[in-house]
Amino acid sequence: MPNSHTTFQRWMRCLIVLFILLVTYIVIADRYVPLTSESRVQGYVVQIAPQVSGTITQVDIKNNQPVSKGELLFRIDNQKYRLAVDEAQVALEQAHQQEQGLYAQANVAKANIATSQANYNNAHRDFIRINQLAKKNLVSASMRDNAYAKNETALANLAAAKQQAVVINTQLGPKLGQSTIVLAAENALAQAKLNLAHTDVIAPSNGVITNLQVDIGTMANANQPMLTFIPTDSMWVTADFREKSIANFHDHSKAYVAYDALPGQVFPLTVNNRDYGVAAAQQMANGHLTHIDTSNRWVRDAQRVRVNFTSQQPLPPQLFVGSRATVVVYPQHDPIWQLLAKIEIRIASALHFIY
């Protein structure tokens, strides 16, 4: 019968072999089915700001309330904006009246041109006749000079009448209702109506309002953030891997994820893309000398790279922006590595019951 020393040696050999196999698997798996617990749920955080200023008179939401696209969030006192719309409508009516006056002035200008043209034609004919008589010494030079002055005056009046018509016509459009004063008034009315519409602040898409800090009576300033809005349709998963672990990654590789909030459950993911830089390597022209990072450690920390994942299905409603998770990636067309990846993520998901 084997003694205790032989049994101990046998167990030690088994443990050593098991340890070597485990280390070998970890080294190889880190290249083909890398796993990381440095993963989070990400989402766009939208700061909602009103486009007009005023006192908030109505708040239709509560903190952390889901909202739908177009749903009213809060309303700003719109009394002065309604008055602005009324004033703009009155200004538009006045602009139409002024346009009618311009058309009347244009008709008068046409009549003035015709009159000036007739006066010029008459004065020009008189000047030609008197000038011919003056050359024969049949009329005095004074009479010729008077005829010439009348001719030039009539010509100047004709030019002035034409310029007056040009000035009026430049204010008129190609047809009724398209003069510059009417178009300006219409734009002012449209802006007033737009400002009135902006007193109702609505949800830009489906999402959740969080960290609500406004109430009736709060003063809202234009372009100053008032609400924090998270679109629920824009959430995705990111994971930070050691850079050697992503050497075999490519777009549309597959992955499994286990969320801390849902222990025991595993969900499929698809690799979307990876970031092409980290903040530690970002350089800025500041006029300073190069900063050298020093470390006294024997083994330096591995650089991690962020990888972004997408899900074919909406993320579970229990998750929020910042939720932690564990992710494992595997080659898409390798069933063996896929099986090993599933085993790893199942173990990690089960451990989430504990931590």
- Higher local confidence (pLDDT), 82 or 133: 82
Same domain for 262 and 353: yes
Between 46 and 168, residue with greater pLDDT:
46
Residues 190 and 58 in one domain: no
334 & 250 share domain = yes
294 is a domain residue: no
Residue 122 and residue 57 in one domain? no
List for the chain the helix, strand, coil content (%; round to 5).
45, 20, 35
For residue range 276-324, what is the model confidence (pLDDT) as tens digits? 877 777 777 778 887 777 777 777 777 888 999 988 888 888 898 899 9
Is the residue at 95 inside a domain?
yes
What pLDDT, on the 0 to 100 scale, is given for residue 1?
47
Lowest average pLDDT, out of 153-157, 221-225, 338-342, 345-349, goes to: 153-157
Asked if the structure places residue 293 within a domain, the reply is no
Same domain, 244 and 337: yes
The answer for residues whose C-beta is within 8 angstroms of residue 19's C-beta and 6 or more apart is: none
Q: Tokens representing 1?
A: 């019968």
pLDDT value of position 252: 65
The answer as to whether 126 is a domain residue is yes
103, 152: one domain: yes
- Please state the pTM of the whole predicted model: 0.69
Same domain for 206 and 260, yes or no, is: no
24 domain-assigned: no
Is 110 domain-assigned? Answer: yes
Is the pLDDT confidence value at 16 over 50? Answer: yes
CATH assignment of the domain containing 331: 2.40.30.170
The reply to whether 88 and 170 lie within a common domain is yes
pLDDT in tens, 321-339: 899 999 999 888 888 888 9
- pLDDT tens-digit series, residues 251-260: 667 899 999 9
Residue 152 resides in a domain? yes
What distance in Å separates the CA atoms of residue 236 and residue 41, rounded to the nearest whole number? 6
Strands (E), the chain: 35-42, 46-48, 54-59, 65-67, 72-76, 200-202, 207-210, 219-220, 227-231, 236-242, 254-259, 267-274, 304-310, 324-330
Instruction: Mark whether 243 and 151 lie in a shared domain.
Output: no
Q: Is the dihedral of CA 255, 258, 261, 264 positive or negative?
A: positive
pLDDT digits (tens, 9 = 90+) for 133-154: 777 777 677 777 787 788 888 7
Range of the domain at 65: 50-77+199-224
Asked if residue 140 is part of any domain, the answer here is yes
Number of domain units in the chain: 3
- Mean of the per-residue pLDDT values of the chain: 85
| 188-193: Cβ within 8 A, 24+ apart | 188/88, 188/91, 188/92, 189/85, 189/88, 189/89, 189/91, 189/92, 191/88, 192/81, 192/84, 192/85, 192/87, 192/88, 193/85, 193/88
Residue 56 sits in the same domain as residue 152: no
Same domain for 257 and 211 = no
Residue 185 makes CB contacts below 8 A (sequence gap 6+) with: 88, 91, 92, 94, 95
Residues 254 and 334 grouped into a single domain: yes
Structure confidence by residue, pLDDT tens digits, 173-183: 667 766 787 88
β strands within 161-246, DSSP E: 200-202, 207-210, 219-220, 227-231, 236-242
